[in-house]
C-alpha cells in the first residue's frame, strides 16, 4: 500500500474518530445540562411548598397562642424556636424531595442577612459556602415588619448525584469510546505491521534469490569446466571442480533446510529429540568447524568453560545449529579481526552460555525486533552481509523449545553479547 494512502487513511480515520467523540461528549454535556435544569426546577418546587408549609405551621401555632392578628395578615408573630424544630424542618424537606424522586444528602439552614448569621442549621458547613452553593428562598415574603430571612438548602453531593443519574449513559458512552479507540489503534497497528511484513517479505525474496543464485552459478560454471575434455583428463582439476560442486550443493541444501525449518517452526510442528548431551562438546565441535572462517579475517575465538556441570537434556542437532548461528553471526557482523569470547557457567538449575563479539553492534530500537522472523537490521553496511533474517528467530524458537531464555546486550560500534540460559532437564522452570 502506498505510504501516502496509508497516512491519508489514518488522517481521515483520526478526524472521524475525533468528530464522533466530540458529538458523543456534546450529547453527554447536553444531557447533563438538562438533568441539572430538571434538578433545580424540582428543588425550586420542593422548597416553594416547604416555605408555604412553614408559614402555615407558624400561622397555626400563632392562633393556638391567641395571636389573632395572624388571621388578618401573614406577618410572623413567633420565633422559629416556638413553632418548628430542625428535625421537623429536615423531615418536611425530605418528604417533599422523595415525592420528586430526589434522593441526595442535603443540609438546611435559615439565614438572616441583617445579622449575617444562621438562625438554624443542620450541619457544620460554613454559612458562606451554603449561601454561595445552595438554593435560597425567602420566608414570610408578605411580612413587611420583619427584616427578610431565607431558607437555605445545600446539596454537598449535587454533582455526584447528577453523575449517578447519568451513569447509564456515561457507562455506555465510555465503553463505546474505548471500543472505538481500541479498534482504531488495532487497525493502525495492523496496517503498519502488514506493511512492514510486506517489506520484509520482499527483502527476504531478494536475499533468497541472491543467495541461491551464487551457488547455482558456481555449480553451473564448474559443470561447464568439467565438460571440457582437457580438464576432465586432469585429475587435479577434476577433483577440485567436483569438490566445488559438492560444497556448493551442500550450501544449497543448508539454505533450503533453514527455510524449511522456519516454516516448520511457524506451523508449531518443530519436533525435539531430547537426550542427555554434553553442551561443552557441542560448543567445541562448532568452534572447530567455524574457526577457519574467523581466522581468515585475522580473528580469534576465546573460550572459557566455567560450567562444572555441562550435561543437559536437549536436541543435539538443534542446539548445534543454535550455537553455530550465534558464532556465525558474531563472525559475519564483525568486519575486521573478530574477537569472539565464549563463556559458560552454571546456575542452580542450568547452564548459561555467553557469546560476546566486537562487531558493529545493534541499536536499542532494533534489539526488540531481531528475534522476529525475516527481520534484518536496516543500518550501516549490514545488508552487505548475506542472510535471510531467519537465524535469530530460529535461535529464539530453539531456546523456547528447551524452556530456556535468551537476551542481548549491545551498543552500536561496540559489539554484542548474547546470553542463553538452558535448564538441565525439561522439568525445570522456564
Residue extent(s) of CATH 3.30.565.10 domains in the chain: 274-423
Predicted confidence at residue 353, as pLDDT, reads: 96
Higher pLDDT, 90 or 3: 90
pLDDT above 50 (res 295): yes
Report the pLDDT averaged over residues 45-72: 72
CATH architecture of 192-266: Orthogonal Bundle (1.10)
pLDDT above 70 (res 402): yes
Angle in degrees, 0-180, between the axes of helices 235-266 and 391-401, rounded to the nearest 10: 60
Predicted confidence at residue 27, as pLDDT, reads: 81
The tens digit of pLDDT for each residue in 350-361 reads 999 999 999 998
Averaged pLDDT score across all residues of the chain: 79
Report the pLDDT averaged over residues 84-100: 82
Report the pLDDT averaged over residues 300-317: 93
Nearest Cα residue to 199 out of 378, 413, 39, 33: 378
The tens digit of pLDDT for each residue in 157-198 reads 777 777 777 777 778 878 888 888 888 888 888 887 777 777
Nine cell digits for residue 406: 535468551
CA distances from 97 to 91, 128, 226 (A): 10, 24, 107
Q: Computed from CA positions of residues 380, 386, 392, 397, in that sequence, does the dihedral angle turn out positive or negative? A: positive
Question: Measured over all CA atoms, what is the biggest interatomic distance in the chain, rounded to whole angstroms?
Answer: 148
Alpha-carbon distance of 228 to 323, in angstroms, equals 42
pLDDT above 50 (res 383): no
Q: What is the CA radius of gyration of the chain?
A: 43
Residue extent(s) of CATH 1.10.287.130 domains in the chain: 192-266
Task: Please report, rounded to a whole number, the percentage of residues in the chain having pLDDT higher than 70.
Answer: 81
Predicted confidence at residue 105, as pLDDT, reads: 81
Alpha-carbon distance of 42 to 172, in angstroms, equals 27
Question: How many Cβ atoms sit within 10 Å of the Cβ of residue 318?
Answer: 21
Q: Given the DSSP bridges, would you call strands 300-305 and 339-346 parallel, antiparallel or unpaired?
A: parallel
CATH architecture of 274-423: 2-Layer Sandwich (3.30)
Alpha-carbon distance of 77 to 293, in angstroms, equals 114
Question: How many Cβ atoms sit within 10 Å of the Cβ of residue 89?
Answer: 21
- The verdict on pTM exceeding 0.75 is no
Backbone phi and psi for residue 201, each to the nearest 5 degrees, phi listed first = -65, -45
Residue 106 contacts residue 92 (beta carbons within 8 Å): no
Report the pLDDT averaged over residues 335-359: 94
DSSP state of 358: -
Higher pLDDT, 406 or 382: 406
Give the SS3 label for residue 243: helix
Amino acid at each position: 500500500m502506498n505510504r501516502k494512502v496509508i497516512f491519508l487513511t489514518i488522517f481521515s480515520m483520526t478526524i472521524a474518530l475525533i468528530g464522533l467523540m466530540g458529538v458523543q461528549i456534546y450529547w453527554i454535556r447536553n444531557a447533563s445540562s438538562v438533568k441539572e435544569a430538571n434538578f433545580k426546577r424540582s428543588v425550586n418546587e420542593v422548597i416553594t411548598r416547604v416555605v408555604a408549609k412553614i408559614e402555615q405551621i407558624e400561622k397555626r401555632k400563632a392562633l393556638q397562642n391567641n395571636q389573632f392578628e395572624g388571621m388578618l395578615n401573614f406577618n410572623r408573630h413567633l420565633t422559629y424556636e416556638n413553632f418548628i424544630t430542625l428535625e421537623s424542618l429536615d423531615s418536611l424537606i425530605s418528604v417533599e424531595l422523595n415525592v420528586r424522586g430526589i434522593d441526595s444528602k442535603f443540609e438546611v439552614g435559615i439565614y438572616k442577612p441583617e445579622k449575617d448569621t444562621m438562625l438554624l442549621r443542620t450541619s457544620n458547613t460554613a454559612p458562606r459556602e451554603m449561601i454561595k452553593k445552595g438554593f435560597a428562598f425567602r420566608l414570610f415574603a408578605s411580612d413587611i415588619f420583619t427584616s427578610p430571612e431565607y431558607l437555605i438548602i445545600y446539596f454537598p453531593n449535587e454533582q455526584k448525584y447528577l453523575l449517578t443519574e447519568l451513569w447509564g449513559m456515561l457507562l455506555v458512552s465510555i465503553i463505546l469510546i474505548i471500543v472505538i479507540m481500541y479498534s482504531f489503534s488495532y487497525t493502525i497497528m495492523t496496517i503498519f505491521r502488514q506493511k512492514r511484513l510486506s517489506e520484509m517479505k520482499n527483502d527476504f525474496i531478494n536475499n533468497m534469490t541472491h543467495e541461491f543464485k551464487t551457488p547455482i552459478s558456481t555449480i553451473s560454471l564448474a559443470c561447464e569446466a568439467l565438460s571440457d575434455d582437457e580438464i576432465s583428463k586432469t585429475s587435479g582439476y577434476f577433483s577440485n571442480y567436483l569438490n566445488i560442486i559438492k560444497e556448493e550443493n551442500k550450501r544449497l541444501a543448508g539454505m533450503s533446510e533453514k527455510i524449511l525449518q522456519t516454516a516448520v517452526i511457524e506451523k508449531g510442528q518443530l519436533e525435539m529429540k531430547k537426550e542427555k548431551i554434553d553442551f561443552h562438546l557441542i560448543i567445541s565441535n562448532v568452534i572447530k568447524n567455524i574457526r577457519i572462517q574467523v581466522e581468515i579475517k585475522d580473528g580469534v575465538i576465546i573460550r572459557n568453560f566455567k560450567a562444572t556441570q555441562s550435561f543437559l537434556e536437549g536436541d543435539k542437532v538443534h542446539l548445534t545449529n543454535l550455537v553455530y548461528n550465534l558464532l556465525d553471526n558474531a563472525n559475519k557482523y564483525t568486519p575486521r579481526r573478530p574477537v569472539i569470547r565464549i563463556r559458560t557457567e552454571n546456575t542452580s538449575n542450568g547452564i548459561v552460555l555467553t557469546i560476546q563479539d566486537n562487531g558493529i553492534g545493534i541499536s536499542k530500537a532494533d534489539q526488540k525486533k531481531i528475534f522476529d522472523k525475516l527481520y534484518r537490521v536496516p543500518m550501516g553496511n549490514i545488508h552487505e552481509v548475506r542472510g535471510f533474517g531467519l537465524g535469530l528467530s530460529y535461535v529464539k524458537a530453539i531456546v523456547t523449545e528447551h524452556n530456556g531464555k535468551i537476551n542481548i546486550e549491545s551498543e552500536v560500534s561496540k559489539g554484542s553479547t548474547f546470553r542463553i540460559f538452558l535448564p538441565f532437564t525439561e522439568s525445570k522452570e522456564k
